[in-house]
Each structure stands twice: as structure tokens, then as C-alpha cells.
Chains A and B, each alone.
Chain A
Amino acid sequence: MENNNLLVVCIINAGFVDLVMDAAREVGASGGTVIHGRGTGNKKIAKTFGVTISPNKEVVLIVIDEKIHEDVVNAIYKKAGLDAPSQGIVFTLPLERVAGLSELNNEEESSDAQK
């Protein structure tokens, strides 16, 4: 069974989830899930590059359609990337199978198929 979904993983400083979700929603992503974590960044690297690394991190997981993945990744990186206060890292993983995507997405797909 062919699957065209990807998992977007976005690791950001705590407190910037809305920034990421707003950016992702603007280009067509639906919802996401947030996990709290703790960064273990190298202190020497932080000193060399003159940045402060906040240990409190949040990981945002968003399942998206492959078609919009470049838009989503670019939008997130523009608003919440390493140069922004959120210091975000974004990457995607190919998904083998997916179940339970929102009803709204299914409605969109069925209306596209009817056209």
C-alpha cells in the first residue's frame, strides 16, 4: 500500500510551539503533538558560536502530506529556525503506514476525487 505521508519532527526551545504550529497551518498542515524534553547541547560549541542553549526543549510532531512537505519545512524554518529565538531544528521521516488522520483531510480528499 502506497503512503504519501511524512512525519515532521521539530525540536525547539520551550514556549515557541504556537510559532511552529501557526507557520505549519498557514501552508496546509492540520494538527500536531508536543513532547517536552531536555536538550544536551555541547557547552563548548555554544561558547564558540556565541549562543546560549536553553536546556528546556519541546518536540513537535506533525503528520503531513508529502506534497506540502517542502512548504511546511520552509515555513517552519523561516519562522522558528536556528536564527530565530526558538532555535529550531526541523527534519522529516518517511512513514510506512498512517491511520486516523483528521476527518477534515478525508473530506478534502473525497471532494478532490469527485472533481
Chain B
Amino acid sequence: MKEVKTVKTPHSDFETKKLSLLVIIVDQGVGDLYIEQLGTLESNLQLKIVGNGTASKEIQNLLGLNEIKKDIVFAIIRQEKLDQAFEYIETRFKLSHKHKGVAFSVKVTSLIGVSVYKILSNTLELKPNGGK
């Protein structure tokens, strides 16, 4: 059987913090509030796009929703900041039906470019890993 060799890249000699892609889907016009808040949580990249909701008429009436246009916010954030981000999101979702939405996060499994990593993780200098 062919032996599989693992190649150690120079970047693995440094301590790295894990990142996540946070997606927030809310009514149109509300997305900017989340972008502002994510900025305070050291997230340096946010993207807002407009989409459409697909809730059926019955559910829309039941929940009192009448806005079908949605703001979809994509943000890259450090995993250690996710607790704070979700705390804020859940508090806002509970405020009123207008602020109701869905948020979820997906783990970022790979990334290339030291500068890109530094920007996305809001890290100025990479610390050595101590040979681990």
C-alpha cells in the first residue's frame, strides 16, 4: 500500500485561530444593524445581498410577516466570537416580528494566503506555535 505523506506548510508553525462563515437572513433594511455589530466583534469582512423569502401565504399571515424581500448577510468571524455574535442575534430576533430571521454558521475548513488570514481573523502578528 502506498504510504501517504503529509506535508507541513510553513504556516502551520504559527498559532492560528479558527474561522466561521456567519450567515444572517433578515427582512430587507435590517441587515445593516447586524453588519455594524459584527464590526465590533472583530469581523473584518461582511457582504450583504438581497434575496427573497419563500414562506407560504398561510405562514406569512400566521406570523404577521408581510415583507418578502430579505437581506442576507455573509460575514467571516473568529469562532471564539461566535457566542457573542449569536447572543446579540438571538436578542434581536426576540425584539419583534420585524426583526425575526434565521442565522447560522458554517466552519471555514481551509484558507490560502497569510495576509488574507490576518485580515479575516483580525490578527496583526502571527505567534509561533512552539513546535506543536
Which chain B residue lies CB-closest to A59? Answer: B51
Decide yes or no whether B78 CB sits under 8 A from chain A.
no
Q: How far is the CA of A74 from the CA of B93 in the complex (A)?
A: 32
A52 vs B51: C-alpha distance in the bound complex, in angstroms?
Answer: 26
Q: Is A7 an interface residue (CB 8 A)?
A: yes
Which residues of chain B have C-beta atoms less than 8 A from A104's C-beta? Answer: 59
Nearest A residue (CB) for B103: A99
CB-contact partner of B52 in A25, A34, A98, A103, under 8 A: A34
Across the interface, name the chain A residue whose C-beta is closest to B51. A35
B54 at the interface (CB under 8 A from A): yes
In the bound complex, CA of A63 to CA of B54 (Å): 12
Which interface residue of B51, B90, B93 has the most chain A CB atoms within 10 A?
Answer: B51
With known contacts A33-B25, A99-B93, A103-B63, A21–B54 Cβ distance under 8 A: yes
CB distance from B21 to the nearest CB of A (A): 9
Q: From B72, B79, B102, B107, give the contact of A35 (CB < 8 A).
A: B72
Is the Cβ of A34 less than 8 Å from the Cβ of B54?
yes
Cross-chain contact A95 with B102 (CB below 8 angstroms):
no
A-B contact count (CB 8 A): 74
Please determine whether B104 and A5 come into contact, CB atoms closer than 8 angstroms: yes
Q: Which residue of B lies closest to A35 (CB)?
A: B51
> Once bound together, how far apart are the Cα atoms of A63 and B53, in whole Å?
13
- Rounded to whole angstroms, the CA-CA distance of A60 and B105 in the bound complex is 17
- In the assembled complex, the Cα of A30 lies from the Cα of B58 at a distance in Å of 12
The 3 closest A-B pairs by CB, nearest first: A35-B51, A32-B54, A34-B52
Give the A-binding residues of B (Cβ under 8 A): 20, 23, 25, 49, 51-56, 59, 63, 70, 72, 79, 82, 86, 89-90, 93, 100-107
Give 20 CB contacts A-B under 8 Å. Answer: A30-B59, A31-B55, A31-B59, A33-B25, A33-B52, A33-B72, A34-B52, A34-B53, A35-B72, A36-B51, A61-B23, A63-B102, A63-B104, A95-B104, A96-B105, A97-B86, A97-B104, A98-B104, A103-B63, A104-B59
Q: A7-B106, A34-B54, A94-B107 are in contact. List 16 more A-B contacts (CB 8 A).
A: A5-B104, A31-B55, A33-B52, A34-B51, A34-B52, A36-B51, A61-B25, A93-B106, A94-B106, A96-B20, A99-B90, A100-B89, A100-B93, A101-B102, A102-B59, A102-B63
